[in-house]
Amino acid sequence: MIDMTLSSGALAVTSGALVGLLLALFGGGGSVLATPLLLYVVGIRDPHIAIGTSAAAVAVNALINLIGHGRSGRVKWPCATVFAAAGLAGSFMGSTLAKQVDGQRLLLFFAMAMAAIALSMLRRPKNEGDPGVHITWQLTLKLAPLGLLTGLAAGFFGIGGGFLIVPGLMAATGMTLANAAASSLLSVTLFGAATSANYALSGLVDWPVAGLFILGGAVGGWAGLKGAGLLAGRALLARRLFAGLVLLVAAYVAWRALGA
C-alpha cells in the first residue's frame, strides 16, 4: 500500500484516465499499461498489489465501456457469455498460481506478455466477418475451451486478456472485428473481477488507489467512446503507434525486474 497524497492521488486519476481511454479505443491490449503505471508512476512498490489493484480497476472500467458498446448493439451477448463463463474458473486458477510466484519474476513474465500483446496489435486486423452470427452448440464447443485457456492467462498475468479474447471470438464464431472487440469487454470485466477478488482475499488490493484509478478510467472511457469514430480512418496507424509504446514499456519493465 502507499501513503496517499494529493500528488499520488492525482497520478492515480490521470493513469486511470489513460487506461480507460485506451481500453475504449483499442479493446484488446488497452488495459496492459495499468500495472506499469501503478508501479512506476503512482508508486505502488509490491508487484502483487499493483497487479491486484489494476485488475480491480480494469474490471470496472471495462464494465463501463461494455455498457456503452452494449447500448450501441455491438455486443454479441450469447457468444460473449459462453466465452466469459468458461474463463472465470481459468482466471481464478491463474491468479492463484501468480500469487505464489516471486514478484520480480512475475514482472518479467508480465513484460513478456506485454511484448506479445504489442506484436499482436501490429498485425493488420481483418474486418471481414459475419455481423449476424448466432450461438449454436458447435460454437459453444469451440468457445468454452478457448475461454478457459484465455482466462487462465489473464488471471496469471493480471491483464484483461482482450488481445487473446478478440481473436479467439473471431476464430471460434466468425464474427466481425467490431463485434469481437465489443464482446470481449464482458470477459475482461469478469476475468478482472475474479483476479482482483482472489488477490483481495490475500490483502493484495490497494482500494483507495483502485477507486481513484476507476474514477479516472470512467472519464477516459467516455472520451474514448466519443473519439473512437474519429480514429476510423487512421485506426491501424494509431493501433501500431500504441503497440510501439507497449513494446517500449515492456522493455522497461523487464529491465527493472532483471535489475532488482
pLDDT band at 29 (very low <50, low <70, confident <90, very high): low
Spell out where 46-100 has E strands.
none
The answer to whether residue 30 is domain-embedded is yes
Burial (CB < 10 A; 0-12, 13-18, 19+), residue 237, is exposed
Query: Which of the two residues, 223 and 232, has the higher pLDDT score?
Result: 223
Total tally of structural domains belonging to the chain = 1
The answer to whether residue 131 is domain-embedded is yes
Going by C-beta distance under 8 Å and a sequence separation of 6 or more, which residues neighbour residue 232?
Answer: none
The answer to whether residue 12 is domain-embedded is yes
Hey, CA dihedral for 148, 154, 155, 157, is it positive or negative?
Answer: positive
User: Residue 229: pLDDT above 80?
Assistant: no
The answer to whether residue 66 is domain-embedded is yes
Least confident of 20-24, 28-32, 220-224: 28-32
Query: Which of the two residues, 46 and 131, has the higher pLDDT score?
Result: 46
The answer to whether residue 27 is domain-embedded is yes
The answer to whether residue 57 is domain-embedded is yes
The answer to whether residue 73 is domain-embedded is yes
Query: Which of the two residues, 227 and 14, has the higher pLDDT score?
Result: 14
Q: Summarize the confidence of residues 43-58 as an average pLDDT.
A: 92
The answer to whether residue 2 is domain-embedded is no
**Residue pLDDT, tens place only, 95-130:** 999 999 998 999 898 888 888 878 877 776 555 667
User: Residue 232: pLDDT above 70?
Assistant: no
Least confident of 64-78, 158-172, 194-208, 223-237: 223-237
Domain of 130 in residue numbering reads as 7-259
Q: What is the pTM of this model?
A: 0.84
